[in-house]
Amino acid sequence: MTDVSRSIRLEASAADVWALIGPFDSMTSWHPAVLDSVLGSEDGRMVRRLLVVGGIRVTEVLLHHDDHDRHYRYAIADGGRLPVVEFTATLRVKEDSSDACEVVWSSTFMPAGAPDDVAAEAISGIFDAGLNALEDRFRQGDSAT
pLDDT in tens, 47-87: 999 999 999 999 999 999 999 999 999 999 998 889 999 99
Mean pLDDT, all residues of the chain? 94
Helix (H, G, I), strand (E, B) or coil at 39: strand
Query: What is the number of structural domains in the chain?
Result: 1
Residue environment code for 36-74, b if the CB has 16+ CB neighbours within 10 A, otherwise e: ebeeeeeeeebbbebbbeeeeebbbbbeeeeeeebbbbb
Residue 118, domain member (yes or no): yes
Residue 108, domain member (yes or no): yes
Residue 145, domain member (yes or no): no
State the residue range of the domain holding 126.
2-139
Report the chain's terminal Cα–Cα distance, integer Å.
Answer: 38
Residue 144, domain member (yes or no): no
pTM value is 0.92
CATH code of the domain in which 14 resides: 3.30.530.20
Tell me if 118 sits within 8 A of 111, measured CB to CB.
yes
Mean pLDDT of 110-134: 94
Q: What is the pLDDT of residue 140?
A: 65
Q: What is the pLDDT of residue 47?
A: 98
Does pLDDT of 29 surpass 70? yes
Considering only CA atoms, which of 139, 138, 118, 94 is closest in space to residue 4?
A: 118
Q: What is the pLDDT of residue 114?
A: 84
Residue 22, domain member (yes or no): yes
Tell me if 14 sits within 8 A of 136, measured CB to CB.
no
Residue 88, domain member (yes or no): yes
